Structure 1
Amino acid sequence: MSIALDQAGIVQFGTSRFLLGHATAFVGESLAAGRSQHAILVVQTSNRPEGKAKARALAEQRHYPLQVRGLRNGVAVDSQRQVESIAGCLIAEEQWPTLEQHFVETARWVVSNTGDSGYHVADDTSLAELPKSFPGKLTKLLYARYRAGRDGLTLLPCELISGNGQVLKETVMKLARLDHADSDFAAWLDERCLWVDTLVDRIVSAAIEPVGAVAEPYALWAIQAKPGLVLPCQHPDVQVVESLFPYELRKLHILNLAHSYLVDQWHHLGLVSRVSFVREAMQEPVLREGLLRLLDEEVLPVLERKLPTLDLKAYRDDTLERFSNPYLDHRLADIAQHHQQKVQRRLQPVSEMARRHGLVTSRLEAAISRAASTVG
């Protein structure tokens, strides 16, 4: 299937395997099912040679394989399909004029996933011929669109930053104020562009060369509801929600908490030499049953008071199934990095909430105590 570039109402900053297994794939399935009409122009923004090689492969073939491997509702899934949502791919460093023209004339949505430091600006300026940072490039493109008299855009960042849409907005508006003595541009950014917070959740475990991805069956793209919001695609895993806070809390205090508790028990029970991966931990009865008891007897009773509108038992089941993925080599040693800080963020707040409600969380408190006593 060949898609014309003028169909690419979505401009996607980033060629990461995560985006290929997440937002880009959702758009492809939506297009294939006839639920939407807008394709993607992918933009490669870094100067990494491997990123440019992937971008050139995408520009040439405009499709890629997505392999979905894991468990879904107790059934093993191992399937591959072609994702055909890409109308083109540009390397910002080499094709800026073409990118700017498309951004001004065709774009309606911006999607991004630029890594943990993606919003870092340092001494960058959007007045540069080619700004170094993602916010610098975005500000320059938005200013060109504003100067052309075009309407604003909807921005749907996918970076793992709480309040990512608002953080990106503040970053861009700060650059705009520094670089342009134009209050109308600032008003256009504030009033005509829609900066939307989103939450992403999917393990995209491997790349397929030269371009493609391997992902688990589970996926979520939760998008904060806002007046005037129009989605770029329609997909069961894309959900518009009134507030992202419950979903962030659920992920942090069930999925992330469970990872850290497994690490605690892995060390405490002396299983480090016998068990390496999360999927192996789920085959150890003492680890699996201990985790299930923790969730059912200590974590869920607390969170149900805080998050009464969410089906926490269903998410618990999804989490355990994801942990049991036979195709995923998720090392417990990797999860164990910065364990003390993770325990403070993931486990301790649940224990504190429990105390406020008069609930007992002895397992949690023991894990918190062990983490606090660990040196290094």
Structure 2
Amino acid sequence: MQNATTVTLMQFGIGRFLLAHVDLFASQARDEHGSDIRIIAVQSSDRAAGRTKAHALARDPVYPVRMRGRRDGELIDTTHQVDSITTALVASEAWAEVERRFRDEVTHVVSNTSEAGYQVPAGDGPRRDCPESFPAKLTHLLKTRFDAGRPGVTLLPCELLTDNALKLKDVILELAQAHYDDDGFMAWLERDCVWAVTLVDRIVSAELDPVGAVAEPYGLWAIQQTPGLVMPFSHPDVHLVDDIRPFERRKLHLLNLAHTWLVARVLDLGLGEEVTLVRQAIDDPRLGDELEKMLRQEVVPVLDQELPGMELEDYVDSILDRFRNPWLDHRLGDIAQNHPQKLERRLAPVVQMAARQGRDVPRLASAFPSTASASTSSLSST
């Protein structure tokens, strides 16, 4: 029987992001705070590369995460041996074991599936032996746990979707309604399970063979307060927040805005052949100096009115640190994809906020006319 304070987290997906984010946080929490957390890593899809990684994790669940970059103005190049994963399973090979563990041990669920991860293909469903899709698998496992009279679980999806937990909950409820005639199960999903919206932020730039990752030092896992929520562990980069939306807006209108503004500025100055990486741009006075002035003098005062108490100046410091990472080849050509749409989503709302506040934001607003006739094809993404 597990200790009541033990957190057993089942994660669906063993990609490099979870390895260097949630799993790293959990390992550091074990080391620094004595947190009793165990992670069961499940390779949900049947991809050959995923199976190979899961088998390697099963043989040796301790793996390195190398942190390379800048944080708080300091250059960091360290390696942490992550030891929070205690079991690694391939769903298609060990479904009975996945079922048993989920039924008897799990307290929390984490996922980081592909962009199409919440979709359920035709013919798939939770009544199949080892369903194909992640939502069908999860519905099956939740029903197994409910039928065993077990408590509900806390679900902490990490997909980069607005209201990710609520979207996942809607899919699960729809599958449960369609495939099980069980009002009690529906009530249990609503009443006993906790669906917590989260926001993740960290660049994990490379995999290590056979298992491991290279990541930037900056990391954020914001989890929205939800009735019944018990946090899986304590970590300085894991934040319980009353509302996730200010964190989403801060990221969109500072970090993402800065990326897209740099693209616009590079195009305007005709520097696409000369400056191809974010770290090159931030070190160029024509770009980096102007970027910092635009963020601190124009964007931060506007957002301070909209997002009070969000420590925006500190966040700008972290952005500049991240952009100056000497080991990260973040290509401006990649950021330039769908540039007009990004201008409208990331920059235009801040210009509109500034107008409502009676503020001038000339550096920010210059991104629009200067790029009206520019072609993002002048920025190479290769």
**Amino acid of the residue matched to residue 271 of structure 1?**
L
Q: Structure 1 residue 367: deviation in Å? A: 1.2
1:222–1:244 CA contact under 8 A, matched in 2:
yes
> What percent of counterpart residues are identical?
48
Which letter maps to 1:319?
A: I
Structural mapping, 1:136-215, within 5 Å: 136-215=136-215
State the match for 2:310 in structure 1.
310
Answer yes or no: is the 8 Å Cα contact 1:35–1:233 preserved in 2: no
Deviation at 1:8, TM superposition (A): 6.8
Q: State the match for 1:19 in structure 2.
A: 18
Contact 1:38 1:232 (8 Å CA) reproduced: yes
Residue pairs, 1:75-86, within 5 angstroms: 75-86=74-85
Amino acid at match of 1:197: V
Q: Distance in 2 between matches of 1:373 and 1:277?
A: 22
1:193-342 aligned within 5 A: 193-342=193-342
- Residues 150-196 of structure 1: CA deviation (Å, up to 9, x unaligned): 11000000000011111111110011001111111110000000000
CA–CA distance in structure 1, aligned partners of residues 35 and 231 of structure 2 = 9
For 1:53 and 1:282, locate their aligned partners in 2 and report how far apart those are by CA, in whole Å: 39
Q: Which residue matches 1:3? A: none
Q: Does the residue aligned with 1:9 lie in a helix, a strand or coil?
A: strand
State whether residues 68 and 327 of structure 2, in contact with CA within 8 Å, keep that contact through their aligned partners in structure 1. yes
**Residue 121 of structure 1 aligns with which residue?**
120
- What is the DSSP-based 3-state SS (H/G/I as helix, E as strand, rest coil) of the residue aligned with 1:200? strand
Deviation of the 1:374 alpha carbon:
4.9
Matches within 5 A, 1:27-38: 27-38=26-37
**TM-score, structure 1 length as denominator?**
0.96
Do the aligned partners of 1:339 and 1:371 also contact (CA within 8 Å) in 2? no
1:87-119 CA distances to partner (integer Å, 9 max, x unpaired)? Answer: 110000111000000000000000110121111
Indicate the RMSD between aligned Cα atoms, in angstroms.
Answer: 1.3
Q: Secondary structure at the match of 2:37?
A: coil
Could you report, residue by residue, the CA deviation over 1:244-286 in whole angstroms, capped at 9, with x for unpaired residues? 1111000000000000000011111111111111111111011
In the TM superposition, what is the alpha-carbon distance from 1:27 to its structure 2 partner?
0.6
State the SS of the aligned residue for 1:347. Answer: helix
Matches of 1:373 and 1:270 in 2, distance apart? Answer: 12
Between the aligned partners of 1:364 and 1:73, the Cα distance in structure 2 is 26
Give me the whole-angstrom Cα distance separating, in 1, the residues matched to 2:86 and 2:300.
45
Q: For the Cα contact (< 8 Å) 1:8–1:41, is it kept in 2?
A: no
1:122-158 CA distance string (max 9 Å, x none): 3231111121111110000000000111110000000
What SS class does the counterpart of residue 29 from structure 2 fall into? helix
What amino acid sits opposite 1:168 in the alignment?
Answer: L
Q: Matched residues in 2 for 1:59 and 1:148: separation?
A: 27
2:91 matched to which residue of 1?
Answer: 92
Question: Partner of 1:44 in structure 2?
Answer: 43
Q: Which runs of 5+ in 1 are unaligned?
A: 1-6
Q: Distance in 2 between the 1:375 and 1:313 partners?
A: 32
In structure 2, the residue corresponding to 1:80 is in which secondary structure?
strand
Q: State how far apart, in whole Å, the 1-side matches of 2:253 and 2:121 are.
A: 33
Contact 2:11 2:41 in 1 (8 A): yes
**Cα distance, 1:353 vs structure 2:** 1.0
For residues 4-15 of structure 1, what are the structure 2 equivalents within 5 Å?
A: 9-15=8-14
- How far residue 305 of structure 1 moved from its aligned partner, in angstroms, is 0.5
Question: Letter of the aligned partner of 1:208 in structure 2?
Answer: L
Inter-partner Cα distance in structure 2 for 1:140 and 1:370:
53
Question: Secondary structure at the residue paired with 1:47?
Answer: coil
> How much does 1:370 deviate?
4.0
- What whole-Å deviation, never above 9, does each CA across 1:300-335 have from its counterpart, x for those lacking one? 111011011111000001101100001111011111
TM-superposed deviation, 1:369:
3.2
Name whichever of 103-112 and 286-295 sits farther off: 286-295
Give the paired residue count: 370
The residue number in structure 2 matching 1:54 is: 53
Q: Is the 8 A contact 1:14 1:42 kept in 2?
A: yes
Q: Is the Cα contact below 8 Å between 2:298 and 2:361 reproduced in 1?
A: yes
Structure 2 unpaired stretches of 5+: 1-5, 377-382
Q: CA deviation at 1:371?
A: 4.3
* Partner-residue secondary structure (3-state), 2:41: strand
* TM-score, normalised relative to structure 2: 0.94
For 1:13 and 1:372, how far apart are their aligned partners in 2? 43
Residues 1:325 and 1:60: Cα distance change in structure 2 (over 3 Å): same
Shift of residue 73 of structure 1? Answer: 1.7
